Structure 1
């Protein structure tokens, strides 16, 4: 069965994955996820590289047929051919690189939106690494970006490989030992690239993991700053973040060191290989086997082939290593296969939900271990209802902007603010309801964040509203006041509240207690 993250269909359809998909195989699928851009870009890349390879050949022919013979007509002819070649290769590079970049950015956007939608829509599960905002951000941005770079592997290396094969074929016509050496040596270097790139791939994964942990620590530190400061734990929090940051730095340095050693070794190998080709060509020229023009063509081709061989050996291996490492991390999130810290993932137990009649406020009381099952069952049974999760997220705007939507009038907003006891915040916050809440409400206390999130849900005036523990961070007096006001503002609408709070039970039309799956 095809597993897909709950994101825009275009993204998941073009980069499909299953439970058995490996990071290597998924990276290959990402490479072909934007064919409308990458196929013409690859064709233009081949044209550009072949044009580059023709430059020393045309120059050699010009010397052989025009300079050595003193024929001005031949000289003008070959200069015209050289100018046309430069025109074609310049055009191919300009538009081919643009198409390749556009294809990469398109896939990058699809991957980011796929991961972000999955992270936002999946139910919370404590202990999951990507529940930390910093880790989730790292996966949705850095890992998605690195994975999307695999698109360029299907563009530039294709042209460079074509240049190596074309150059080798030309060398075969000039001197078959030199041509065979290039055609045999290039695949050997590519094989060495794959072998040498394995440690780099491992280092890249460790670097990304450590960076995500450090980002998660930083995000957690900022989101819990009030609590940390209140208990006087600033020094300990700083030390913990410092350890995570130093670990991320150490892994990054090791990864870059490995990449540097890998690149240096490949540069030396390819340089020595092509230098040997040039030396052999010089010996053949001195012995009379090759002419002057042929020697210049061979030396020029050897010098030109140095770059595509180095790129094939260095950047292709580095891109592939980085992309597959990031693919593993993204796949873990999309398949919800992340390792958990002391948490065993159990399938939800079946729940027999009560019917909710028009105008009713029903409280479903259940233990914490059953609350997630009840919420999941409510989502499945009432997909069109407005579901307000326990851990709601706020946007980096004002209190009013978080509560009022594009279709919310002032009266509905004020009623919702009053029902959630947010109107009291106007007296506490420096700019009243126009005060900025910070990213995810970091400028507010836990109780204030809950009240703003509750007001936002009420302001939508949904026909069926499902709330999950909306007042756990609120004091008992305020909680009782909120319960009464929610009862009033929701009159005539259906409301389901999953909570064991006595305040809501006191105002409910019915209280349904669920223990082992059946309502009591």
Structure 2
């Protein structure tokens, strides 16, 4: 089972960013040192050129010129190596952190306890695909910022050596420029977060529409759905354009301020050269340094944008990773089998009120709810998706309260198979086995019991037939039967089936009912502790006829119990409900 990486409620955007730096500290430190070395060598290039002009070119000293050129070549070699290696480490750290965050989000999304992030599937997809990558940019920001600051400091020191007032002017001017540009950071963060949220909403809607495309076509609502998506996409476009405008304004201001700063420094240096306070080599070095300083200052401005994006996305990542679980299971291990495998004692939840029900070992129990919402409430309770504080009464699994069981123990004891089956891209064999090592004989027996042999026979690859995403190359009835076969392969102590034949024709449904009774009926073991039990929540007469007992739910309580034949003969409402 995949577990979340952090405890719920302990994650914030700042925690996500700090943890990224801590988790990638080795690569961040090595990459930052190399990038700082690259920037130092970049600063030394105009300084070296100025020295060569004064010491070799102006004096006509050929040996000094040759030695200087060799030194310049060595300087460029270090410069290139430092950048190549440092950038590689920095990008590797970003990608590794993004991968780690994506795995964590997947673990949180797949956590059987559920999560209270409030995000739809499409939004989770957007957070996984986009926000994870953007939040990891804080790793890159750390290296770039440190390298830019190093470059500015070394350049300022070099200018101080050439001329103290000029160096002091740079040391004072650059921080003022950076602080001024930083003033837009909060706005950039807000606009970036809004952009990511709008894109996530659009993605979520797209996922919903694609998932329900067949239904939309069936009711002729595809045009309305397209207009709705277009409106949502238009809103996302507006938010994106506002964010892009803000980023463009910030980039423009950064370039403008850099240009003005460069012009001032170059102008002052030229005036000092005219006054005789700077040599030709020093003038070249100063102009080169002034021109170079524009680059790290612009890099700092870029880092402001990156950090704003990272912080906005980190907040969305934190919303997922820090979401509290829906249910808080206990720690008890698998319970010992008992004569009563499931007992609901005076349960109150949703439409259920004082609801009590017993499922004996080896029993195939039918459940008919006149109100479908009460059946949904029962399924939610049995699947362990209802927090303990949200319902009254107690659900016992083999005599142990369900809330005392570890989530793995509860899921191992009770398997709920919904009628809306989820199949995955891959082969039929993979979907049936669900990751377990299962003998093909067992798989085929389950397929036969689920009346799904035609799904295998209709394709030359048989059980190795490839399924597309969500099993879209199967019909609704075929998907339901393959889902039922998968549940039979799992062979849980208690199997709960909710309307498992809504998309299956009557003839196939009858075959399926007989196969299910044969696979799960265990008629001779009825009442024997340890025998498997099955709960069929349905109004299908074909399914109800193979049950040992049927419990009828009306207004939140069991109002009648008996065999299917007895209830047909004695209860007019039951007869009307199942035979209509």
Fold conserved between structures, TM > 0.5: yes
Report the equivalent of 1:3: none
- Once the two structures are superposed, residues 426-445 of structure 1 have per-residue CA deviations (whole angstroms, 9 ceiling, x without a partner) of 57889876665431233444
Question: 1:60 Cα deviation (Å)?
Answer: 0.9
Secondary structure of the 2:276 match is coil
Q: Distance in 2 between matches of 1:369 and 1:358?
A: 23
Matches of 1:208 and 1:375 in 2, distance apart?
A: 34
The answer as to 2:185 corresponding to 1:156 is no
Report the 3-state secondary structure (helix = DSSP H, G, I; strand = E; otherwise coil) of the residue aligned with 2:537. coil
Per the alignment, residue 328 of structure 1 pairs with: 315
Partner of 2:422: 393
Q: Residue 76 of structure 1 aligns with which residue?
A: 66
Moved more, 389-398 or 328-337: 389-398
- Superposition TM-score, scaled by structure 2 size: 0.75
SS of residue matched to 1:290: coil
Equivalent position to 2:106, from 116, 139, 146:
116
Q: Is the 8 A contact 1:371 1:498 kept in 2?
A: no
In 2, the alpha carbon distance for the partners of 1:96 and 1:191 equals 27
Please give the alpha-carbon distance, in whole angstroms, between the structure 1 residues aligned to 2:232 and 2:501: 31
**2-side partners of 1:498 and 1:195: how far apart?**
63
Q: Distance in 2 between matches of 1:333 and 1:484?
A: 45
Per the alignment, do residues 446 and 348 of structure 1 end up closer, same or farther by CA in structure 2, a change over 3 Å counting? farther
Aligned partner (choices 36, 39, 45) of residue 49 of structure 1: 39
Q: 5 Å matches for 1:306-385?
A: 306-313=294-301, 315-336=302-323, 354=343, 367-376=375-384, 377=402, 380=407, 381-382=409-410, 384-385=412-413
Flag the 1:91–1:348 CA change in 2: closer, same or farther, 3 A: closer
The superposition leaves residues 164-198 of structure 1 with CA deviations (integer Å, 9 ceiling, x where unpaired) of 11111211222222222222233223323332122
Deviations 1:259-312 (A, max 9, x none): 111111111112211221111111111111222211111111111111111011
Shift, 1:229, TM fit: 1.1
Pairwise CA distance, 1:154: 1.7
Against the structure 1 CA distance between its residues 54 and 414, is the aligned structure 2 distance closer, same or farther, given a 3 Å change threshold?
same
Select the structure of larger CA radius of gyration. Answer: 2
Residue from 441, 450, 464 that aligns with 1:411 = 441
Of residues 280-289 and 328-337 in structure 1, the stretch that sits farther from structure 2 once superposed is: 328-337
Going from structure 1 to structure 2, the CA distance change for 1:98 and 1:389 (only over 3 Å counts) comes to farther
Measured at CA, do residues 506 and 190 of structure 1 come closer, stay the same or move farther in structure 2, by a change above 3 Å? farther
Provide the residue aligned with 2:452 in structure 1: 422
Take 2:458 and 2:94, find their aligned partners in 1: how far apart are those partners?
48
Distance 1:463 1:222, change over 3 A: closer
Where 1:154 maps in the other structure, the secondary structure is helix
1:404-456 CA deviation, whole Å, 9 max, x = no partner?
45623332221121222322445788987666543123344444333322222
Contact persistence 1:362–1:495 (CA under 8 A)? no
**Separation in 2 of the partners of 1:247 and 1:332?**
23
Q: Distance in 2 between matches of 1:510 and 1:176?
A: 97
For the Cα contact (< 8 Å) 1:226–1:445, is it kept in 2?
Answer: no
The aligned residue for residue 36 of structure 1 is 26
Q: Does 1:255 align with 2:227?
A: no
**In structure 2, C-alpha distance between the alignment counterparts of 1:224 and 1:306, rounded to whole Å:** 53
User: Residue 364 of structure 2 contacts residue 535 of structure 2 at CA under 8 Å; is this kept in 1?
Assistant: no
Paired residue for 1:291, among 264, 279, 285? 279
More moved, 420-429 vs 293-302: 420-429
Please give the secondary structure, in 1, of the residue aligned with 2:242.
helix
Aligned to 2:180: 192
* Aligned CA distance change for structure 1 residues 114 and 50 (closer, same or farther; 3 Å): same
Q: 1:298 to 1:161 in 2, by over 3 A?
A: same
C-alpha separation between the residues in 2 aligned to 1:425 and 1:233? Answer: 30
2:258 paired residue number: 270
Secondary structure of the corresponding residue to residue 49 of structure 2: helix
Aligned length: 495
Residues 494, 476 of structure 1: alpha-carbon distance in 2 compared, 3 angstrom cutoff: farther
The 1:389/1:289 distance shift into structure 2, 3 A limit, reads: farther
**Cα 1:275–1:410, aligned 2, differ >3 Å: closer, same or farther?**
same
Give the TM-score normalised by structure 1: 0.83
Q: Hey, which of these two has a bigger chunk of strand by percent? A: 2
